[in-house]
Amino acid sequence: MTPTDTSDDLSSPGPAAPHGAPVMLALRQAALGGPEVLRLAELPRPAPGPGEILVAVHAAGLNPTDVKHRALSIFLPPPPLILGWDVSGTVVETGLGVTLFQPGDEVFGMLPYPHGAGSHAEYVTGPTRAFVAKPAGIDHIQAAALPLAALTAWQALVETAGLRAGQRVLIHAAAGGVGHLAVQIAKERRAHVTGTASAPKHAFLRELGADACIDHRSEDFTDAEERYDVVLDALGGEIATRSVGVLRPGGVLISLVPGAEDTRAAAEKAQVRAVTLIVEHDQAGMRAIADLVDRGRLRAHVSATFPLAEGARAHVLGETGRTTGKLVITVR
């Protein structure tokens, strides 16, 4: 269980709320480090500014980027921090100028990445247009698992690659958070999908619609004669560089981690495109995702849930890098 902040050092509770002001519990860290830096803290409840809504968080997804930002100074300012970009919940209050939602509406979305983090808490504020109505056919846990990973897959395959029917796509780490949603989105686009994953996860991938699977532990994805129009890579490093060699001329490699000079040089030589994608909050993309959910074409696989007070345990599991699908932190 995550400790509650009680002292003035690492476990400092943070700024106290004015007497009588509303408060909330949040999973806060006062330093970079391992999961042990995460503490349950009582903090002032935020208020929505112009163009924002205040959401009572029911559930919030945990993504690899949360684990990395907990340990390293990447995009966010130094601690104290509250992590979390995925959110599903109920609108409590609207800020000046908001016309799309009203208190009581159930919404889900991704807070602006990277600087909008804060959903691992009982309440969070965010720009109205980062959210859409939660699909009625799924619960808040399912909804919270979708935004960042599904938007990443959508922006990579649909908007960046322009994936079309009949094209062939290779998805690395296809059973992971982004990967398993990317498989479903690619199949919705009527593409031929090959996914890399350990052999025990191949049945899961085929249930999602994957046409072929490669065991990354015993097979080399470059050995086959198959050539792809699109490669989606969540691993980076030498995997990204080697992926250039399995693309058809004119194909595109989309990496979700910064690429190396070797990758760019190899892509230029092979006459393919190599790009790095950082997900953006996007209401149109969220509406497309909600539509896929409503039509039964997209569903997040949630492998485990953890209450907010045990968020550190979620990070321990998340940093193994072996999770199938998504982890979710439950709040209400």
What are the pLDDT digits (tens) for 260-294?
778 988 999 999 999 999 999 999 999 999 999 99
Q: Which residues pair with 124 in a beta bridge?
A: 55
pLDDT on residue 261 = 77
- Indicate the pairing of strand 86-94 with strand 123-127: unpaired
Residue ranges matching CATH 3.90.180.10 in the chain? 23-147+281-330
pLDDT of 66 higher than 90: yes
**pLDDT tens per residue across span 7-37:** 334 334 456 666 678 999 999 999 999 999 9
pLDDT of 190 higher than 90: yes
pLDDT on residue 3 = 55
pLDDT of 328 higher than 60: yes
Closest CA to 66 of 83, 41, 79, 88: 83
Q: Which residues are within 8 A (CB) of 129 and not within 5 positions of it... i.e. 6 or more apart?
A: 51, 100, 281, 283
Q: What is the spatial distance between Cα 280 and Cα 245, in angstroms, rounded to a whole number?
A: 29
pLDDT on residue 225 = 87
Average per-residue pLDDT for the chain: 94
Which range (110-124, 183-197, 222-236) has the least confidence?
A: 222-236
Closest CA to 319 of 88, 63, 79: 63
pLDDT of 4 higher than 70: no
pLDDT on residue 18 = 62
Distances in whole angstroms, Cα of residue 3 to Cα of each of 84, 126, 138, 153, 319: 18, 27, 31, 35, 20
Residue ranges matching CATH 3.40.50.720 in the chain? 149-276
pLDDT of 6 higher than 60: no
pLDDT of 322 higher than 70: yes
Q: 149-276 belongs to which CATH class?
A: alpha beta
The secondary structure of the chain, three-state, reads CCCECCCCCCCCCCCCCCCCCCEEEEEEECCCCCHHHEEEEEEECCCCCCCEEEEEEEEEEECHHHHHHHHCCCCCCCCCEECCCEEEEEEEEECCCCCCCCCCCEEEEECCCCCCCCCCECEEEEEHHHEEECCCCCCHHHHHCCHHHHHHHHHHHHHHCCCCCCCEEEECCCCCHHHHHHHHHHHHCCCEEEEEECHHHHHHHHHHCCCEEEECCCCCCCCCCCCEEEEEECCCCHHHHHHHHHEEEEEEEEECCCCCHHHHHHHHHHCCEEEECCCCCCHHHHHHHHHHHHCCCCCCCEEEEEEHHHHHHHHHHHCCCCCCCEEEEECC
CATH of domain 23-147+281-330: 3.90.180.10
* C-beta separation of 90 from 106 below 8 A: yes
* C-beta separation of 194 from 171 below 8 A: yes
With a pLDDT cut of 90, the percent of the chain lying above it is 89
Q: What is the spatial distance between Cα 67 and Cα 48, in angstroms, rounded to a whole number?
A: 27
Please give the residue that has the higher pLDDT: either 165 or 10: 165
Q: Which residues are within 8 A (CB) of 124 and not within 5 positions of it... i.e. 6 or more apart?
A: 46, 54, 55, 57, 84, 87, 89, 111, 118
Q: What pTM was estimated for this model as a whole?
A: 0.94
